[in-house]
Structure 1
Amino acid sequence: MKLLVFDTTHHALWAEEIARNKGLAVDVVPAPPEADARCDLALAFLEEDELELIASLDAAGVPFRLHMR
């Protein structure tokens, strides 16, 4: 799984809502310390959903960073 990290909890939960509304399998998980995220939450997702998820979040204006484990 890949991770998206965020600067705020609001952004993390907003991203989760968008992903679930699109039918994408995501999980809210603790952000790893090495991600240097301002928010303690991250969004784990399947690699095959990456393009659709990123496009959906970009279209909605949700700020995020992709973190590679």
Structure 2
Amino acid sequence: MTNKQRLIYSIIIALAVLAIMLGLSHLQNSGVITEKTFQYIAIFVAVMVVVVNGIMRRKVKH
């Protein structure tokens, strides 16, 4: 994986996280999920992004 590919994947991940958070916010405002559930899912998503970013960083060829 090159740095350019990593940048593209990072942008895709950032947009996906933004979409997930907006969706969760909408669900919370609609009363489908509670504040606590929203927090747990948001923390899980953040941890997953950190893990994926770490994996991508190791795969970059110098």
Greater helix share, structure number: 2
TM-score after normalising by structure 1:
0.32
TM-score after normalising by structure 2:
0.35
Greater strand share, structure number: 1
